[in-house]
Amino acid sequence: MNDMTNHITSDKTVLCITLNPAIDMTITLETLTLGVVNRATDTQTTPAGKGLNVAHVLSELGINGVASGFLGRANDELFRALFASHADIKSIEGIGKMTDGFIKVAGSTRINVKLVDNGRTTDINGQGFVVAQDDKTALIERIDALIDGVDAVLVAGSLPNGFNADDFDELLSHLTHRHDKVAVDVSGEALSVTIKHKLWLIKPNNDELSAVFGGDMTDLDTQKQAISQIPSIKNILVSMGGKGVHWFVDGGIYRGIPPVMTVKSTVGAGDTMVAGMIFGLLTNKAPTDVLRFATALSAHAVAIVGVGVPEPLHMNKLLSQTQVEKLS
């Protein structure tokens, strides 16, 4: 097994687009009881969103991230502080830069409350800004200014108010015309749009894939039948929570099974897996090493609140406990 834990600052850069970011207020309780006063054991408020989470993890892995998308002007303080903290990050060995490429729009970025008790997460997602036509035009112009200098592009997360499935279809068409490594991590109607495009990577979970194709998507044969209908996507990861992940790629199907973890929060686990896959693919690791690393990294994510990369010794332990096999 190749050691992927000794990261060095890379010359690789990924454009991470979050169309509908959030401010996550994560409240941890011993037990959530409805209808009474509950007392938190911990509270964290962080700038978040799927693409931003991926950029954060990639930065800790030594890959530079450019975070773009839409951001509300009215409450962008946490986001400005995040990017300011990364302004001189190149002085820290092994850490990539994370820079601000967001389009600021009128209104507020949504606030999502996440109640975590006994490893269970209850989400209360707020309403955010409304995207105007001028904002959409500005985003395309910003992407065109950034895309030539990046090694991959990611679009992840939900669609904001004012940005519909047709807009998303146009965005993916524009991105795939400009770059040959476009990854997407979305669900629902946006996923139905996504699978029509020629893409580098997607990562639906089994429930999200089931919503598009029907059937029990924890079953490999059912997954294979669905995947056969989207041959234009090179790498397809189907995550199944604690049951592991299936990776469909030219040349075979791989299965990754994570170690058993004490779950604190599942928020960000999928984003962490996407970051691990992008890291492995861009650094030309062997397929089994790519999936082992992404699966182990995602396992770490459920044992913490938020996203991040474990210390090398702990990462090596997780890697040794992660099972990977080639199925075909």
**Catalytic amino acids?**
271
- Please spell the DSSP secondary structure of 164-210, one letter per residue: -HHHHHHHHHHHHHH-S-EEEE--HHHHHHHTTS-EEEE--BHHHHH
Q: How far is CA 33 from CA 29, 226, 305, in A?
A: 10, 40, 21
Sign of CA dihedral 163, 166, 168, 170: negative
List of long-range contacts for 35-39, beta carbons under 8 Å, 24+ apart:
none
Closest CA to 185 of 152, 213, 223, 157: 157
Amino acid letter at 239?
Answer: S
Cα angle vertex 291, ends 177, 65, to 5°? 50
List, in order, residues 6 or more apart from 21 with CB less than 8 Å away: 47, 48, 49, 51, 52, 69, 70, 71, 79, 102, 109, 110, 157
- At 131, which helix (H) or strand (E)? none
- At 58, which helix (H) or strand (E)? helix 50-60
HSE of 26, CA atoms in CB hemisphere, 13 A: 21
